[in-house]
Structure 1
Amino acid sequence: MMSNVRPLLAAALLVTVALPAEAQEVTAARLEAALPQLDAMAAKAVAEGQVPGLAVVVVHKNTVVFIKGYGLREAGKPGAVDADTVFQLASFSKPISATVVAALVGEGVLDWDTAVAALDPSFRLKEAYPTQQVSVRDLFAHRSGLPGDAGNELEALGYDRATILHRLALVPPASSFRAGYSYSNFGLTAGAVAAAAPTGKPWEEVAQEKLYAPLGMASTSSRHADFLTHANRAELHIGGPGQWAAKVARQPDAQSPAGGASSTVRDLAQWMRLELGNGLFDGRRLIPAEALAATHQPLMARGANPVTGAASFYGLGWVVEYGRHGESWGHAGAFSVGARTLVTLYPQAELGIVVLANAFPTGVPEGLAGNFFDLAFDGATSQDWMGPWNAAYAGMFAPGVAAARERYAPLSDPLPAAPREAYVGRYANGYVGGAEVAAAREGAAGGGAGGGLELRLGPDGAARFPLTHFNRDIFLYYPTPEMPDVPAAVRFTLGADGKAGALTIEDLDGYGLGTLERE
């Protein structure tokens, strides 16, 4: 399930990269000259159809120096994006959640190194030692050993947060504890939920009380229902330039700390001021500097940024990089059903930008930010960063998509399926839960002697997928709504009685947990 996208195309190999000796400075003259060019580049990106809508804010030395919206909230409909349009932030939520936890750490509710088991005794990983030792710091740094995508597929099927976090105990580790980096939405979610546990309040309420309310972020929330109350909200778009359409909704409450916040550029400017002020806001100390600074420490090596070549590390909910303009803190966010977001801060220069866009795939946020920072620091762009960043996002899924289409290209002479009754029934395992293979509703896709089948997954079997016969006991379904022509296989294993005793769902089998036995 490709409902979430990792923030920096994290497939890059670990390499040794020299770090710059000093951060660069931003002069008032260069910044003043850069802002009109940023405005023109953002307007051009929308005019060219690279994204339907866009919002940008820049903060420098505790002041909002630029804020503007461009384009439409929904393609083909009236309703312009402005500074108060609410966007879904996707993984941009992670550094915001790190700020919330830093506030709790500053109050003495917990320490970054507090064991999650001490905060939430019900939390389990597959192995006993990590279960007892894993800390909030470990989960926010993605070094628990939990595989990156674990839980994402369950969320896509409609399972709630508590169910998903409970089932993480079944997932084999991707690496030894604290030895490897594996970007995990539900790992970070577990850390945030545990951090909030001593307050006796849900994460969403804690985020509101500790961050959104004190900063006056009135349009920001970690609840999807609150996002839906805003008439001035950006819809999600897929399809590409010239074909953008709002087709798929995304309800991310299950992983709210990792990907479920929504906000405006006006609100996020206040959060940037807090971060660049090391916990000071309007002259008040909201978060102790030490608690907040822990989030910006580079802990896990991520290799080189595949587009810029900067040395890249993960801190606590933040990507920390050392590139051509010195040290930066940032994070990207994306939903492959139609969101792209970005924050980048240069702490030494007290300069930061947020770019929010309502489309996927696009590298416009990184392209705009890259060009702007070149202008602000150097007075000229080293290259137009739009091109390489757009190419990086456009090609993100290309190899997997091509492989799936090739693997399941129609066969000239497929083996026939068994009678339909051989496959119909209920199946289950502890991770995926229950599955039902049933006669499809009238008009559903099918084919062959075993055609006319439907796969039902998730709570109450609400996620339903027609099965199309491919070859003998292999059927295809299409699990990803934003890629409706990319198939995955369901393989049945028939017993001596001619009935399927088990099925394996390819798209849910990334950790060897996709085989379900007949009940």
Structure 2
Amino acid sequence: MASEPVAGSQSVAAFIPEFEHLVVEVMKEWKVPGLAVAIVQDLEVAFIGTYGLRDIEAGLKVTTDTQFQSMSVSKSFAATGLALLVDERRMDWKKPVREYIPEFRLYDAVASDRVTVRDLLCHHSGLPRHDWIWLPGDLSPAQMLAALRYLEPSADIRSAFQYSNLGYLIASMVAERVSGRTWAEFTRSLTDKLDMKVTFTVEELAAATDAAVPYGMMGDTCQRTKLWPISVPAAGGMSTSITSFANWLRFHLGQGAFEGQRLLSSGLIQELQKPRVHVGATGFAEYSDVHYGFGFRSHWYRGERVVWHGGGFTGTNALMMMLPDRGVGVAVLVNNGMTPILAPHILANYVFDRVCGKEPVPCFGRFREQRRKFVTQYEAWLQAGKAAPTPATEPHRALADYAGNYKHPGYGRMTITHAEGKLHWAFRGMSEPLAHRDSDTFELPEAPESPSGLLPSRLSLSFSTGEDGNIASVAVPLDPLVKDIAFTRVAAEHF
């Protein structure tokens, strides 16, 4: 049964003009091309608004049907789907993953046996992000599953919160094994009941007649970016419209019921939202520390319980936030990535303040100053880099000596070639020239200047010699929480 509204809640309709003014100011300050927002109150859609352009170059406006990438808000769908299987007694998320995926293996044998589905959902497996396993978008789920056993953990199982997109990939594979359907088919069986139009791949999104074009930020400049493939759809690959997202809010605020139909028990909705693992402090007096549940984060804001998840990538941001005890939810979708991530929070917090009858916290001014300070520092850093003379250092050996094929059992193959007096790096579909840094270390260029659209910015490659004095390996810091990933040099026939 849906939670009763808390006495004293204010109607959303009473402050929409002021809210829309704030939307315009936020979009102007954060250089947001297009934005869509939905507000749900008492299980009804109280407001839907669309602003700006989904495609700047074509002059196409955002509509209520414009498909935006949901990114990590997809995790709420993955966890909710598993809750459906629990509700049907087809799965127990307290059981080890290997009961559902026998070939599941982690770097640590004990963790392999003990990690449960719950551990995956609340990022408690001991694995750090290791995002460059999935980011190039070239590996299949089966290949990424096989790679897990070669990825070093950075904590013991259940000892620390460590966000892991790969954990949600495995969770979605559990859903597939139990349901007998692909994760997209399984998830669509729920979203169809909620009258939601969703896509699960960037190919589907690109083919949609009303899709938002992604735009990224380089300092204070908004620029069109590539629609990069997301090979872990349950962790961040879904796309949907603001109209559909309003129904996702209604379903969760309705404690698992939608338009009179019970789809999931209220007890399991509460299990999804329950704070389980401490994430960290926010640094603002109005907020409590943040905790993670199953596909949802939670904290307290000015005495109100907030359940939410956000997501962002190179050209998009998404946010869903709910006050479950007041029956209020907000969804914000924008086609501008990474640096404007605070913009949706400003809008959601304003709604929450007004609904609760409180004077709004000056989030806009606070975060505007943070943004402007960041832009100033970024521009100064860029100028300093351009003005700084190139260090007059030389590699320890001839450039041709570094050329070769290098391999890691989890991360795959890396090739270094030498031509016209320069080294060139190639790795799983990405390629860039290398610049010498010092000694036997080279580095990739700054990511925004990469024509590939995705690149580990300023990534260093440190070469090491073997007993015979020849280059034998290259160490690359692909995850900051573990030691550098060592790629071993191999002969061409073993590559």
**TM-score, normalised relative to structure 1:** 0.84
Shift of the 205–482 alpha-carbon distance from structure 1 to 2, 3 Å rule, reads farther
Which stretches of structure 1, 4 residues or longer, exceed 4 Å deviation after superposition?
A: 23-26, 392-396, 408-411, 481-486, 495-498
Counterpart position of 2:201: 223
On the 8 A contact 2:68/2:333 being kept in 1, the answer is: yes
- Check if 1:517 corresponds to 2:488: yes
- Check if 1:168 corresponds to 2:145: no
On the 8 A contact 1:136/1:195 being kept in 2, the answer is: no
Amino acid at match of 1:341: A
- SS of residue matched to 2:442: strand
On the 8 A contact 1:364/1:389 being kept in 2, the answer is: no
Matched residues in 2 for 1:100 and 1:509: separation? 32
Q: How does 1:19-418 map to 2 (within 5 A)?
A: 25-28=7-10, 30-48=11-29, 50-147=31-128, 149-156=129-136, 158-209=138-189, 211-218=190-197, 220-239=198-217, 243-252=221-230, 254-307=231-284, 308-335=286-313, 337-360=314-337, 361-362=339-340, 363-385=342-364, 387-388=366-367, 391=370, 395=374, 411-416=390-395, 418=397
Q: What are the Cα deviations for residues 415-454 of structure 1, in whole angstroms up to 9, with x where unaligned?
A: 24522321121111212222211135x7xxxxxxxx4221
1:411 Cα offset (Å): 4.8
The structure carrying a bigger strand percent of its residues is 2
Shift of the 374–341 alpha-carbon distance from structure 1 to 2, 3 Å rule, reads same
Counterpart position of 2:493: none
Q: What are the Cα deviations for residues 92-113 of structure 1, in whole angstroms up to 9, with x where unaligned?
A: 1111222222122222221221
Counterpart position of 2:422: 452
1:278 Cα offset (Å): 0.7
On the 8 A contact 2:214/2:224 being kept in 1, the answer is: yes
- Check if 1:500 corresponds to 2:481: no
1:89 Cα offset (Å): 1.0
Amino acid at match of 1:67: I
Matched residues in 2 for 1:242 and 1:435: separation? 34
Q: How does 1:458-477 map to 2 (within 5 A)?
A: 458=428, 462-477=429-444
- SS of residue matched to 1:469: strand
On the 8 A contact 2:12/2:355 being kept in 1, the answer is: yes
1:185 Cα offset (Å): 0.8
On the 8 A contact 2:105/2:148 being kept in 1, the answer is: yes
Amino acid at match of 1:487: R
Shift of the 159–59 alpha-carbon distance from structure 1 to 2, 3 Å rule, reads same
Matched residues in 2 for 1:106 and 1:267: separation? 24
Shift of the 305–141 alpha-carbon distance from structure 1 to 2, 3 Å rule, reads same
On the 8 A contact 1:416/1:471 being kept in 2, the answer is: yes
Shift of the 242–125 alpha-carbon distance from structure 1 to 2, 3 Å rule, reads closer
Matched residues in 1 for 2:371 and 2:132: separation? 22
Gaps of 5+ in 2: 491-495
1:367 Cα offset (Å): 0.8
- SS of residue matched to 2:224: coil
Shift of the 49–72 alpha-carbon distance from structure 1 to 2, 3 Å rule, reads farther
Matched residues in 2 for 1:409 and 1:208: separation? 54
Amino acid at match of 1:434: R
Matched residues in 2 for 1:332 and 1:470: separation? 37
Moved more, 430-439 or 86-95: 430-439
1:281 Cα offset (Å): 0.7
- Alignment length, in residue pairs? 475
Matched residues in 2 for 1:233 and 1:390: separation? 32
Shift of the 106–479 alpha-carbon distance from structure 1 to 2, 3 Å rule, reads farther
Moved more, 268-277 or 478-487: 478-487
Matched residues in 1 for 2:329 and 2:486: separation? 47
Matched residues in 2 for 1:171 and 1:64: separation? 45
On the 8 A contact 2:416/2:423 being kept in 1, the answer is: yes
Q: What are the Cα deviations for residues 85-135 of structure 1, in whole angstroms up to 9, with x where unaligned?
A: 110111111112222221222222212213211111111112222212211
Instruction: State the identity %.
Output: 26
Amino acid at match of 2:399: R
Counterpart position of 2:406: 427
1:154 Cα offset (Å): 4.4
1:32 Cα offset (Å): 2.5
Counterpart position of 1:4: none
Amino acid at match of 1:163: Q
Matched residues in 2 for 1:24 and 1:482: separation? 51
Q: What are the Cα deviations for residues 476-496 of structure 1, in whole angstroms up to 9, with x where unaligned?
A: 213734788952221222457
Matched residues in 2 for 1:271 and 1:344: separation? 11
- SS of residue matched to 1:341: strand
Matched residues in 2 for 1:515 and 1:76: separation? 43
Amino acid at match of 1:388: F
CA RMSD of aligned residues (A): 2.9
- SS of residue matched to 1:293: helix
On the 8 A contact 2:257/2:263 being kept in 1, the answer is: yes
Matched residues in 2 for 1:288 and 1:109: separation? 15
Shift of the 275–464 alpha-carbon distance from structure 1 to 2, 3 Å rule, reads same
**TM-score, normalised relative to structure 2:** 0.88
Shift of the 206–393 alpha-carbon distance from structure 1 to 2, 3 Å rule, reads farther
